Amino acid sequence: MSIRATFAKHLRTRATLVGSFVKSSDPANVELLGHAGFDFVILDAEHAAFDRADVARMAMAARAANLPLVVRVPATDGGWIATVLDAGAAGIMAPQVRDADMARALVAATRYGPNGLGFSPSTAGADYGTRGIAGHLAQAPEETVLICQIEDRTAVQNAAEIAAVDGVDALLLGPVDLTVSLGLTDPTAPEITDLCKRTIKAGVAAKTTAGLFLGNPADSQKWQSAGANLFVIGSDQAFLLGAAKAALQQFRHSS
């Protein structure tokens, strides 16, 4: 079973998984996060400057590190999704999914066949032609995940319907986006916490994985108790900045 298929199985059976964002284009960062022990990483092509070639390089590094790579796409049209899956990513994270109709369209956009993605059996995602046409058509659904981001009040209200769409593998809350969409600035505000818990409850009721970005990893137990099982903590940039600040502070305090 490929690392992509294993990740999809764990996600679909609601295993507890923890990942991190990758926001810089050095493939070594993907390998480093793999060595750190993360279950997966998310290449943030929505908010960082990644192009098609970057996605291919980062996906290659992820395969070398035996680390599932999900890509948060900047657009949910077929072009970006096709690029990501052809590169051998484990799936996509779609931002700003607001209703079940959009979720159904995304599911269709991640599938080959009539009215689906353009198909090539020679891509990295198809193991460079070694699977053959039938082999790749059979394997792709078992190793391609769709994670829908819930980032505003409308999406929270529709979370149950989104989670119930066949082919949606997980809901992931973006507490910061949710906060800003409500005209607030504190992701830990009680109103935000309540909306997050409502969304996670909807996912659990639909037997769909649900989770969120954790600004404070120490809060993981609280959210696991609420039913969450998918977590994203930090990013390569944040880890670099945090470690650099800590080392510099330690140096200056000891001088």
35, 47, 136, 253: which is the annotated catalytic residue?
47
In a 3-state reduction of DSSP, which class is residue 92?
A: strand
What is the number of residues in the chain?
255
Question: Computed over its alpha carbons, how large is the radius of gyration of the chain?
Answer: 18
Classify 184 as helix, strand or coil.
Answer: coil
Instruction: Please give the structure tokens belonging to residue 193.
Output: 């916490």
Query: Residue 110: helix, strand or coil by DSSP?
Result: coil
Q: Are 191 and 182 in contact (CB under 8 A)?
A: yes
Q: How far apart are CA 28 and CA 36, in angstroms?
A: 12
**Packed helices 27-36 and 236-254: angle between N→C axes, nearest 10 degrees:** 70
Told to judge if 47 belongs to the known catalytic residues of this protein, a careful annotator would answer yes
Which residue type, as a one-letter code, is found at position 244? A
- Catalytic residue positions, numbered: 47
